[in-house]
Amino acid sequence: MVKSLPESEWISVGTLSSHTQLFRGDVVEVEVYDTQGLVKDLSFVINIESDQQGEPQNWSREVAQYINTHIPLMQAGRMTEQGLIVGYRGNEIYASSRCGITEVVINYNCVAKSQDQVGEMASGYDHIFPVNHESYRAGDRVLHLATGKVYRCKPWPYTELCRLGGKNHDQYEPGVGLNWQTAWQEVEE
């Protein structure tokens, strides 16, 4: 944090996702905007070189560290009474209210897996997540294309969590959500 600026001089211009799982070959694009539009000199990309780097806490921390190191009038982390602290999840992106930056947009360019790869990845499933997620029942086997793995919906009372497939409930997304193991069990082939 630029120590010469009081906390009231920082404005929130974006948020780093705390739930998005990325994989080798994916790219995180960080676009910085001011009142004139995209600021190319401040925008940057992070190439995901391994599945471990693609873990939500790892790539988001890498983006936060890049911002904090290379863009002086922007900081990423959590605003506290002690100053700005970089956290592992749920980082806000702040800009000096005087610098003109209005928004930071995080885009993901993900490598799609072909249907041939999907067939090689897993077999023996009832659904492909999140198709028809409202109808999932205890014991249903669901293929998640992002991980290539099959997950079994746990019995009541967790079955209802399996049915939450919308963007507002991504914490239960099988294999990648923050709380996925509450609702799902990975099926070993």
User: What is the DSSP track for 15-26?
Assistant: E--SS----TT-
Give the global pTM. 0.58
The predicted model gives 98-123 an average pLDDT of 70
Find residue 153's DSSP bridge partners.
Answer: 184
| Strand 37-38 with 74-80, pairing | unpaired
Residue 33 has pLDDT above 80, yes or no: yes
Q: Does pLDDT of 45 surpass 90?
A: yes
Report the C-alpha dihedral over residues 160, 17, 92, 95, rounded to 10 degrees.
Answer: -150
For the residues of 131-183, what is the DSSP string, one character each?
TTGGG--TT-EEEETTTTEEEEEPPTTSHHHHT--SGGGGGGSTTTSTTHHHH
In the chain, pLDDT over 90 holds for what percent of residues?
32
83-85/101-109 β-pairing: unpaired
Look at residue 104 and tell me whether its pLDDT is greater than 80: yes
Helix (H, G, I), strand (E, B) or coil at 45: strand
DSSP code at position 118:
H
Tell whether the torsion through CA atoms of 7, 8, 11 and 16 is positive or negative: positive
Residue 118: band (very low, low, confident or very high) from pLDDT cuts 50, 70, 90: very low
Query: Residues with Cβ < 8 Å from 15, sequence gap 6 or more?
Result: 90, 91, 92, 93, 106
Structure tokens of 42? 């401040």
The residue with tokens 């492909």 is 128
| Domains along the sequence of the chain with CATH | 7-109 (3.30.70.2150), 115-186 (no CATH)
pLDDT at 123: 60
Sign of CA dihedral 60, 25, 23, 135: positive
CA 62 from centroid of its chain's CA atoms: 13
